[in-house]
Each structure stands twice: as C-alpha cells, then as structure tokens.
Structure 1
Amino acid sequence: MSIFNRHTIAAFLLGATLAVGAGAYAVDRHLNSAGPHSAIDATAHVDRMLKHMYVEIDATEAQKTQIDPIVRQAMQDLQPMHEQMHKAHENALQLLTAPTLDRAALEAARAQHMQLADQASKRLVQLIADVGDQLTPVQRQKLADHLARMHGHGHGMHHG
C-alpha cells in the first residue's frame, strides 16, 4: 500500500492543518490505514474536514477565505509527490520480488523514497505555518484539544 495515496494526502493535509500549534503526531496515524481514492474523493474529504475544523475553532469568514486556498494549493503541490511515491513504492516491490536481490538498487529506492518524504514533509510544515498564521493562539489550542480527543489522548498532546 502506498504511504501517500490520495486519501492519505487529504487526511494528512487536514491533519497538518488541524495540528497547527500541536504537532503532526496524530496525522501520522492515518498513513497506514487509508486505501486508494480518487482526487475527487480527496477533495471532498478535505472539504468535510475543513468544514468541521472551522466549526471547532469558530473560524471567521475571513479566516475561511484565507485558509481554503492555502490547503488546496498544498494538495496540488503534494499530488506529484504522491504519484512519485506510488511509483517508488511499486519499484521497491519489484526489486524485492526479483529472483535476485539487488542491494544497490534497493538502497537507491530507499534514498529516493526518503527524498520524496522529505519534500512532502517540508511542504506540510509550510502548510502548517501558513494556516497557523491565519489562526489565533486560542484557535490553535482548540485544534490541539480537538486532535487530542480525536486520537484518544485526553485533553492535551502527549508524546512518549
């Protein structure tokens, strides 16, 4: 299963958006559970999640107007990375199932995967910061509290 399928990207984007000020711990929980979906499904999922987020934080219309294009641009930016990750994943599976293991090719595939993951991670951090700039500290705290409840961690983000 590709770590960056369309549903995962949507969930990850929204999770990253929701995690402003709280970290992206909860978002990572979605990475291994989502199956492939169309871009339309991903867009609809982001729409629903943004709508829910706006209610949770009491977002103003001005904030919604600012945040929507930020999230949609991030989705567009991440889509090519998703496709590259999918191809890299398929390549790694082919290498793994070859009659003879090519360790150098496996290492090159790993390095490519890590490079793509780093690019995606940087873009997601940019998304978090861009959305965070649109929110008040109180709103960011409301998001952190909501994420903690969503992922069964009580009323605060606990690590370790």
Structure 2
Amino acid sequence: MSIFNRNTIAAFLLGAALAAGAGAYAVDRHLNSAGPHSAIDATAHVDRMLKHMYVEIDATEAQKTQIEPLERQAMQDLLPMHEQLHKAHAAALQLLTAPTIDRAALEAARAQNLQLADQASKRLVQLIADVGDQLTPAQRQKLAEHLAQMHGHGRGMHHG
C-alpha cells in the first residue's frame, strides 16, 4: 500500500471520526434538551448532515439508498450508549462531590465509562467501514478533504 493510499485512508478515518464527534455533540445537545422529541431532533440533524455529505461527494441514488439504513441503525445503536455514558458521567460527578471520596466507586465509574466509550468507538468504526464500502475511492477522498477543511485541518484553516 502506498503512502498516498495510507494517508487517504487515515484522512478519511480522521474526518469520519471528527464528523462522528460533531454528531455526538449534536446528539448530546438534543438528549440534554427537555421534551420527548430529542431522538427525533437528533435524527433530523443526521439527515441534514447526510444530505450535505451526498452533495459534497456526488452520491448516487443507489449509494444514498445503501447508506441511509446504515446511518439510522448506527444512530439507534449509539443513542442508548450515549445516554448510558451521560448517566455514568453524572454519577461520577456525584461521587466527586460527596463528603468522602469513594475511590473504588470512582474507579468502577471510570471503568464503566471506558467500556461504553470502547463500545461506541467500535460501532463508529463499523459505520465508517460500512459507509466506506458504499463509496468509490474518489468519493472517500472528497469526503476526507471536505471533513478536514470543515474541522480546520485543511490548508488555510487555523484554530484560534
């Protein structure tokens, strides 16, 4: 495998991970808002992100038909994990504010958070691979370039 191909794959994975992070942030905002429509709002956000991605990579109708169920299933799988992680985080904060620090309980909370994060990470990697299988190498390159620019990793983009 050439360095260019490795860099292309790395850029795609980095971009997809960053996009997933942005999606997780949006899901977090929706899950933390009041009301029963949080999951619906998060789904609408993912739909908007997908439509934008489709334009960026010139996705065919057949690709859209293949990708949308993959994204929806991943969202169904990830939302409960996110809720569990949010609850575990709140429990850990309670432990930290208790009159006495329970080190064993903090360690158990840490281990639980790591396990949930690992499960979510594995699911995201599965999604990235599944979606990548539906795209051409040129489309994956376009997506990686777009995501890198969106997240400040492209030329002329600076954090600050």
Structure 2 match to 1:26: 18
Q: TM-score, normalised by structure 2?
A: 0.78
C-alpha RMSD of matched pairs (Å) = 2.1
- Which one has a larger percent helix, Structure 1 or Structure 2? 2
Question: Residues 118-151 of structure 1, C-alpha deviation per residue, up to 9 Å, x if partnerless?
Answer: 0000000000000000000000000011011111
Contact conserved, 1:20 with 1:132, CA < 8 A, in 2? Answer: no
Matching residue's letter, 1:55: V
- Partners of 2:65 and 2:89 lie apart in 1 by 36
Unaligned runs of 5+ in 2: 1-9, 31-37, 156-160
Tell me, yes or no, if the aligned pair for 1:20 and 1:128 is still in contact at 8 Å. no
Structure 1 counterpart of 2:44:
44
In the aligned structure 2, how far is the partner of 1:74 from the partner of 1:28? 11
**SS at the partner of 2:12?**
coil
Higher-Rg structure is: 2
% identity of equivalent residues: 79
1-structure distance, mates of 2:91, 2:140: 40
1:1-160 to structure 2, matched below 5 A, reads 21-23=12-14, 24=16, 26-27=18-19, 30=22, 34=26, 36-37=29-30, 38-154=38-154
State whether residues 11 and 148 of structure 2, in contact with CA within 8 Å, keep that contact through their aligned partners in structure 1: no
The Cα offsets for residues 80-108 of structure 1, whole Å up to 9 and x where unpaired, read as 11121111011101101100000111010
C-alpha change, 1:63 and 1:25, in structure 2 (3 Å) is: closer
Does 46-55 or 23-32 show the bigger shift?
23-32
* Unaligned ranges ≥5, structure 1: 1-18, 156-160
Where do 4+ consecutive residues of structure 1 move more than 6 Å?
Answer: none
Amino acid at match of 1:111: A
